[in-house]
Amino acid sequence: MLFNFFKSKDSAESKLFYKTDIHCHIMPGVDHGAQTVEESLQLIEAQQRWGIEQIILTSHVTDDTFENNPETLAEGFRVLSEGVKDAGNPIKLAYSAEYRIDTLFVNQLENGLIVPMPDNYLLLENAFIQEPIGLDRLLFDLKVKGYKVIMAHPERFPYYYGNLDRYKELHEAGNRFQINLLSLAGFFGKDAKKTAEWIVKNGMADFLGSDMHHIRHAETIDKYLHSGEYRKLLPWLERTVKNDIFKL
Ligand SMILES: [Fe+2]
């Protein structure tokens, strides 16, 4: 029933212009994204309809709520890889995580428990209430350690809305930005959408991500990919988005 939504709309215009998703919660049972392999497969198939061929799985790692570690992530990846193989699905998968900047992250970093993306990229998420204290220092230290920081959906943090120059500062410091398709689609409200478009038009959208947790997210993104709004934004997006640097 849910998938009737997609069936009539599998047209060329619904495609993404890249083949790699670098932010999603479709590893089964490790956070509040997909809970079963079946759900994971549904979400993977939705992405494949948009032309996605490879996915970096980025489950949450946060204090208290989702205290994942290299073992839980490896186990989720094993289960999903097996499910994908059994289903005969050709999707290419790799995994890392979406690391919230908190004490667990700092702990895991100190203890060598970070699972980076290919090529040492790290997807980091700010807190939503306020910018993490000492953020610039932490980002600098990560660079010194050889990590390439991708800030997850910077357009979703309200404390930046009155200070757009801060985005330029963070970007000029060498941090890469990953914008959510869901933000562009308006899923997180007008301010996040407007800010996402501003970041795109100011040349700072280095990556796009689905940040997909469940099928409603897929439906929202699908609708957006059919919109004139997406078509109008495409020339800007194509100029800076480089999701396909990853070869899985
Ligand atoms: Fe996420």
Handedness of CA 59, 61, 67, 70 (dihedral sign): positive
What tens digit of pLDDT does each residue of 90-147 get? 999 999 999 999 999 999 999 999 999 999 999 999 999 999 999 999 999 999 999 9
Helix or strand run (H / E) with residue 43: helix 37-49
Q: Please tell me the predicted confidence (pLDDT) of residue 64.
A: 87
Q: Please tell me the predicted confidence (pLDDT) of residue 5.
A: 54
CB 150 within 8 A of CB 177: yes
Tell how far the Cα of 210 is from the centroid of ligand 1, in angstroms. Answer: 8
Q: Is the pLDDT of residue 11 over 60?
A: no
Tell how far the Cα of 63 is from the centroid of ligand 1, in angstroms. Answer: 15
Tell how far the Cα of 99 is from the centroid of ligand 1, in angstroms. Answer: 9
Tell how far the Cα of 47 is from the centroid of ligand 1, in angstroms. Answer: 16
Query: What band does 14 get if pLDDT is binned at 50, 70 and 90?
Result: confident
Token look-up 């934004």 returns 233
126, with CB counted inside 10 A (0-12, 13-18, 19+), is buried
Q: Where are the domains positioned within the chain?
A: 17-243
Calculate mean pLDDT across residues 25-31: 97
Tell how far the Cα of 25 is from the centroid of ligand 1, in angstroms. Answer: 6
Q: Is the pLDDT of residue 246 over 90?
A: yes
Closest CA to 237 of 191, 193, 206: 206
What tens digit of pLDDT does each residue of 38-47 get? 999 999 999 9
What tens digit of pLDDT does each residue of 183-241 get? 999 999 999 999 999 999 999 999 999 999 999 999 999 999 999 999 999 999 999 99
Other C-beta atoms within 10 Å of 158: how many?
14
Q: In what order do the strands lie in the sheet with 20-21?
A: 20-21, 54-61, 92-100, 121-125, 148-152, 176-180, 207-209
Tell how far the Cα of 30 is from the centroid of ligand 1, in angstroms. Answer: 13
d(CA 224, CA 217): 11
pTM for this model (two decimals): 0.94
Tell how far the Cα of 24 is from the centroid of ligand 1, in angstroms. Answer: 6
Q: Please tell me the predicted confidence (pLDDT) of residue 3.
A: 52
Tell how far the Cα of 60 is from the centroid of ligand 1, in angstroms. Answer: 7
Query: What band does 13 get if pLDDT is binned at 50, 70 and 90?
Result: low
Does domain 17-243 match CATH 3.20.20.140? yes
Tell how far the Cα of 222 is from the centroid of ligand 1, in angstroms. Answer: 18
Q: Please tell me the predicted confidence (pLDDT) of residue 6.
A: 56
Tell how far the Cα of 72 is from the centroid of ligand 1, in angstroms. Answer: 17
Please enumerate in sequence order all residues whose Cβ is within 8 A of that of 31, keeping only pairs 6 or more positions apart, or say none. 25, 59, 60, 66, 68
Tell how far the Cα of 152 is from the centroid of ligand 1, in angstroms. Answer: 7
Tell how far the Cα of 160 is from the centroid of ligand 1, in angstroms. Answer: 18
Calculate mean pLDDT across residues 17-36: 97
pLDDT mean across residues, the chain: 95
Q: Please tell me the predicted confidence (pLDDT) of residue 8.
A: 47
**What is the separation, in whole angstroms, between the first and last Cα of the chain?**
33
Q: What is the DSSP secondary structure assignment for residue 89, as one 8-state letter?
A: -
Tell how far the Cα of 146 is from the centroid of ligand 1, in angstroms. Answer: 23
Tell how far the Cα of 235 is from the centroid of ligand 1, in angstroms. Answer: 25
